[in-house]
Chains A and B, each alone.
Chain A
């Protein structure tokens, strides 16, 4: 054990866990990383490219090395940072990205080959022979690449999403964030305090600072207690604010139960959309390292992280108690680590300070003007080489802390592309002043990392933020604190001939940067892309600035001249599942059910998705073994008796007002103004670009009242378009619109016996052909007083009606019709029979009205009235539209029992089949039980003039072609006698 004294772990709550199958013990309050270190485990992973043995580098979410596969089975979670994985009893974790055991990774051979794997090498080779890329090189690369693996099983956990609103969002609950929260909370503002950690305090948990002369955690505890008592403050721990979006909207993920073995009845994570009037960014800072030769061995870590492990988790990062620890620093901060380690009883070799005038703050050795120039220890650090003025000596150590300075966490402040600004005093980038509106950086995130200045800055930021939204806040009494010494030299890396790592995970070394420079990949974005620097899971948090400094040195420019990088969401990795928010599986999209859905279900109907609607597809009966049998029966029943079909899904728009007729005249290409009350007209709508858009019926119920229908697919779109025309084009017209699609259940009653059936349910309404002819409509009552609307329209070519009742009566109406029609052979039919009926009749539907066709093509050219203006009329007459010669026609296969596949292309017999010889295509096809033949519709060049011609319907995709005869699209009753009888 390498546990020290003190710390914020609960020694009375030991926890068992396994890593690579081996059992260990830790404590409540540990992370996986601290618990492993506490067990003397330094080796935790392998690097991406060279498979170098790696240990933990950081103590937070920026960790590039200690990545594990957490949990097992369907909950297996790759690339989990051991540094933020809270320990729970029974936790299992495995190291990833190696073949064979972690300490003997077969792929470590890559490290020996590293001279061949220099920056950009793969762009220069693997080109010969050509076919080898997909067959050999790439599969090899893909297999070796990647980090952890997925279980390939569906995620079993639940996720949620929600909205939150507040006056002030505070990101980060360290010294600055807590001061801001207390200030705003006491002022009565609605506050959300969010922190990615599971406890409040931020860096205060990892330092040994005193506040008001006592342990800083005492103050944190009292601040927490006060904030919890304020009803206007919401504390959200385990919550990462990952992205800044427009108008004060932030994306945040709360890890509700990732610290538990299984979520139980809770969700695993929640996605919060937080709308904040103002935001204080108190996200702290991230430490950077100093590249030197072989600086990547397990045991080499950031000095601030080492301090955190010692102070917060009471662990020493060495393998064995008694191993010495050294610190390598370019400033005062490294010395703090030495002091804290000594205070906790660890053995410290000393501080190697690159500065000649290195200070000494306590009783430890200082190697002034010295650098670390080499390390040894294959699977864990055993010794370091310290060099001063060219003279080197080796020292035995078990761990090395590296302190290269701190980078403010500017990430969220640059999500709106505001570029961070270089600060020469801090030797770091600070948030851009033109960051997201309403976001105020504070504390270490603003470059004010001293405890005293962070507290004050947090308080002031809250006061400023609230004053901008009219909330008066007063200064609060802050605890007495100190700013620790933070002098620092601009010392960025130790020059040398061996490899010195800049980006640990992606194995980018100083040499790689030098090579990029030599090859003119100097712009920082080219550097990143050429070397993959900063593209690892830590997004360059620990590497970007060091790399910029190296490139700056090579180009002879300053760091800000060399470039900056901005950051993009998310701040840290966010699970894909929580972004989907649980709307998966059958919940992916809403299901709209028709009024007769449950009735149809009871009849054993098969259903089909039509947009969001579920529609009955066909109604199988006992003895029917194929869907075709069922559909053929339904079609024949309609044509010989009476069929019933729920057509509620067709869009319905109620149009009222003195100018309703004029309005519709402008919406439809054909004349609608001259319609008569009680009559219906088929209408064609164009898009303003002149193409056919939608068709439907327009029924005039009264002088100032119309009911129009649209296709199912376009119901919402046509209504939107009508509102656009009404509000944006012609608001002066007296017309009101409302969509009534869901308000009315509509059932098509179709077939020669439809009149007889309806007669049995109407309340004395005269249905005779004279009183209620084809294309008539009326309001009426049925079934003793139920309000209804009746339309005599036909999609099938048969005598047919559509009857509408308030939606809640739809189910009952269908039952009543079935009862009353039993002796007439009333037959429910679904979308398949509906399609057969309309193809037999030659009516266009979705495949013909696909947005690419014109009224001319559909044979409806005459419906575009030249006597008036309507949407799309002018554009429909453009040169190219007029020159369009394809027309909707019917096809019959020469062999009646061979299906003409929709999607086949048409060719003249004997011609080569190319795109230029293409004569058209088949849009819809079906078997017509009426004609006892397959039939089809399609668009054919000069189609109207080619009746009787035999063409090839080619389907090379499925290796088929057949001969078809061009016929009229109206296969059934072309004269239209039946529907008028």
Chain B
């Protein structure tokens, strides 16, 4: 079924009788060419591109709970390609280009909204660093603007310009950045993959890998053994747990990141704003809630919930930056498990086990990467070669000394 305004009108006039399931609930087949472990954004995007772009016909996605129940359903929905390093920036820009065509590609409105992101500048040194970054963005066509304090005042006059501990001196803006409706991304990819024959199997937990002679033959699941020529794992915060079943340790720690949404408000904040002197970033959803977050709690955790000190820290930043939000109320907070890698950059690579592939280490920036991550992982699974923009995301870059460390803080995941 093709979604369109005409279809919505037709169904409205005929009592919504014609709508059909967005995807099937198939029984798992005995074997597939490619099995993707993880029905989150990255797993579903991988399946979508495998089917649509790479012509793979026998693909399954295994999800232990419900589709999109991990970080894709719990994030601050920001999309951007404002990275610094050559290992990252082309990849995120590729992702941005995929975002820009996502709705037409999936025939599903994921509400990609390019309202812009502004990273605030508070010191001259920060401006220099952002100039270097902005220039890197210009080199790949991502676009960037260095904003003066006055320009900024015109755009976001409600920021604390006059009474701040760390004065606002300007900002780096990417106009093409913005937000996307996180659940819409899951559903768009899931529906698109299902339409192209991918079996999406919910409530199917992978309990082990069948590996013989250094080659993966399939996965043991809560719904029985499923054979596979290739297995791609895209389980974000659960990467450590799942790959341990294949006997692997990873350069990854799992940490909790909290995120927050306020009660609905009439339009308040135009785009995305990040506070360069505190730990705070914010946007406003189409529904009207301020969606915001800050740092990870900072300790290893699989609990999907955080603690009060970070809540306070985030709101201290929020109130310091935009004291006019004080009388709005926090509606909900939640915690997700972040696969924090040792250099803050992801891994899309084969493992030493033949046929077993890994997509992990997204830290707390996985959402914006969803399309490119799926595309690049599909490329690797289908062709055996890394996608050109993801070639640096190798598993052996740590031992070989080619880390991609945007923040320059080294092998301590909670600092990335």
Contacts and interface: CB of A to CB of B under 8 A. Distances in A.
A210 to B, nearest CB: 38
B307 A246 contact: yes
Contacts of B66: 523, 525-526
Nearest to A523: B66
Contacts of A591: 165
Contacts of A243: 308, 333
Which of B111, B127, B330 has the most A CB atoms < 10 Å from its CB? B330
A902 B136 CA distance: 13
B90 to A, nearest CB: 6
B265 A149 contact: yes
A134 B115 contact: yes
Contacts of A691: 405, 408, 410
A356 interface: no
A622 interface: no
Interface stretch (B15-23, B50-58, B224-232, B362-370): B15-23
Given A417-B303, A608-B124, A921-B132, 15 more contacts: A79-B329, A130-B103, A133-B113, A142-B284, A148-B265, A151-B327, A152-B268, A154-B323, A273-B308, A585-B163, A609-B167, A851-B410, A878-B400, A902-B131, A904-B135
B228 to A, nearest CB: 25
Given A576-B318, A902-B132, A152 B324 contact: yes
A417 B303 CA distance: 8
Contacts of B144: 957
B137 to A, nearest CB: 8
Interface string B271-301: 0000001100000101110000000000000
A520 B86 contact: no
A4 B237 CA distance: 58
Interface string A34-76: 0000000000000010000000000000000000000000011
Interface stretch (B6-14, B350-358, B378-386): B6-14
B214 interface: no
B288 A588 contact: no
Contacts of B323: 154-155, 577, 584-585
A851 B405 contact: yes
Given A128-B5, A577-B326, A878-B401, A903 B129 contact: yes
Contact of B135 (A581, A585, A852, A954): A954
B401 A123 contact: no
Contact of A519 (B13, B19, B114, B188): B19
B331 interface: yes
B134 interface: yes
B307 A245 contact: yes
Contacts of A916: 86
A879 B19 contact: no
Nearest to B406: A852
Nearest to B13: A115
B interface, size bucket = 35 or more
A905 B166 contact: no
A142 B73 contact: no
A76 B327 contact: yes
Interface in A518-541: 518-521, 523, 525-526, 529-530, 532, 537, 539
A730 interface: no
22 contacts: A76-B327, A78-B265, A123-B187, A125-B4, A127-B3, A146-B264, A147-B263, A149-B266, A150-B266, A151-B327, A525-B73, A526-B67, A576-B329, A577-B327, A584-B160, A585-B165, A609-B123, A847-B129, A850-B408, A880-B402, A903-B133, A903-B134
Contacts of B334: 568
B111 A138 contact: yes
A496 to B, nearest CB: 14
A957 B8 contact: no
A955 B113 contact: no
Among B127, B308, B325, B329: residue with most chain A CB under 10 A:
B329
A125 B327 CA distance: 35
Contacts of B400: 878-880
B330 A573 contact: yes
A972 B274 CA distance: 40
A22 interface: no
Contacts of A904: 131-132, 135
Contacts of A245: 307-308
A941 interface: no
Contacts of A584: 160, 316, 319-320, 323
Nearest to B343: A689
Nearest to A563: B66
A417 B74 CA distance: 15
A570 B163 CA distance: 30
A521 B22 contact: yes
B122 interface: yes
Interface string B386-401: 0000000000010111
A608 B123 contact: yes
Interface in B240-267: 262-267
Contact of A123 (B3, B13, B129): B3
B293 to A, nearest CB: 13
Contacts of B163: 154, 585-586
Interface in B10-38: 11-13, 16, 19-25
Contacts of B98: none
B166 A518 contact: no
B403 interface: yes
Nearest to A907: B139
Contact of B401 (A154, A846, A881): A881
A415 interface: yes
A905 B402 contact: no
Given A520-B22, A529-B183, A580 B312 contact: yes
A678 to B, nearest CB: 35
Contact of A150 (B67, B165, B265, B287): B265
Interface in B93-146: 103-104, 107-115, 122-125, 127-140, 144-146
B166 to A, nearest CB: 6
Contacts of B11: 118
Greatest chain B CB density within 10 A among A146, A147, A148, A905 is at: A146
B196 interface: no
A124 interface: yes
A606 interface: no
Contact of A573 (B139, B314, B329): B329
Contact of A78 (B21, B65, B184, B328): B328
B266 A146 contact: yes
A142 B267 contact: yes
**Which 3 pairs of residues, A with B, have the shortest CB-CB distance?**
A851-B408, A903-B131, A146-B288
B20 A574 contact: no
A123 B184 contact: yes
Nearest to A154: B323
Contact of B263 (A76, A79, A957): A79
Nearest to A113: B12
A339 to B, nearest CB: 37
B96 to A, nearest CB: 14
Contact of B264 (A127, A147, A905, A958): A147
Nearest to A250: B308
Nearest to B127: A903
B401 A145 contact: no
A515 B307 CA distance: 38
A913 interface: yes
A121 interface: yes
Given A142-B288, A152-B158, A122 B109 contact: yes
Given A128-B4, A142-B267, A153-B324, A580 B136 contact: no
A102 to B, nearest CB: 16
B304 interface: yes
Contact of B265 (A116, A138, A146): A146
B339 interface: no
Of residues B11, B265, B319, B411, which shows the largest number of chain A Cβ atoms within 10 Å of its Cβ? B319
Nearest to B1: A124
Nearest to A846: B125
Nearest to A157: B326
